[in-house]
Amino acid sequence: MRSANVIIISIEDKFVKNMIIFLRHGQAENNTKKILAGRTPGINLTEQGREQAEQAGEMIKSLNISAIYSSPIDRAMQTAEIVGKHCNVKPISDDRLIELDMGKFTMVPYNEIFEKHGNVFPKFYEGSLEISHNGVESFSEVQKRVFDIVDFVKNEHKDENVVLVTHMDPIKAMIGKVLSLKPEILFQLIVANASLNIFKYDDQNYYLSSINSMNSSRFHETF
């Protein structure tokens, strides 16, 4: 059984600073079809996904967001643009937030992958050679580029609050690094669509403030 999500309902303190808010894109067509879309263009948000993004924007609009960086993938940029309207900030595309390269698994339904390879998701977090042999970007590579942009934000946006719109595994890369999570825990961790995953930082450390923050109207959803 997968672990329960930690959910914080409201974020209201407009005087809080030094926050990096990781936002997963809203529900997209590949999510409903259970397909590994990877970096395939033209995968758009569903209507539900657009509404989720609107709710996320409402939650953070009072936080004095100074910048929004986004994965260039359509579903992420669409989410960033919706949130940006609430915050009066124009999103900036950044490849360091891109979805991982799914290699030979790109646009393959989950059930087909499971039939041929078993459950590949734990193998991804373990760094299995089977994953790299199928052309999939390694989890360590994802962590490296995610921390690169996090360090950039820390240096370029001191005393500011910044949103990073991305995908599940880049967010798990950040959470896993900060909390030193083992592969089996990373596999069990679910980052919900359009959820806010908030980190604070000081000169030396990053601290996890919340996971899967969302509007209470979404509590019934399964991920």
State the alpha helices, DSSP H only, in 127-182.
129-133, 139-156, 168-179
Six-digit token string for 118: 């078993």
Catalytic residue among 117, 157, 167, 220: 167
Determine contact, residues 206/1, Cβ cutoff 8 Å: no
Partners of residue 161 on adjacent β-strands? 19, 65
Closest CA to 23 of 57, 51, 61: 57
Rounded to whole angstroms, the Cα distance separating 166 from 23 reads 6
Determine contact, residues 154/184, Cβ cutoff 8 Å: no
Catalytic site includes residue 167? yes
39 C-beta neighbours (distance < 10 Å), count: 16
Q: CB-based contacts of 169: which residues, under 8 Å, 6+ apart? A: 99, 100, 124, 139, 142
Q: Strand, coil or helix: what is 130?
A: helix
Catalytic residue among 25, 86, 117, 157: 25
Determine contact, residues 87/165, Cβ cutoff 8 Å: no
Active centre residues (catalytic):
25, 167
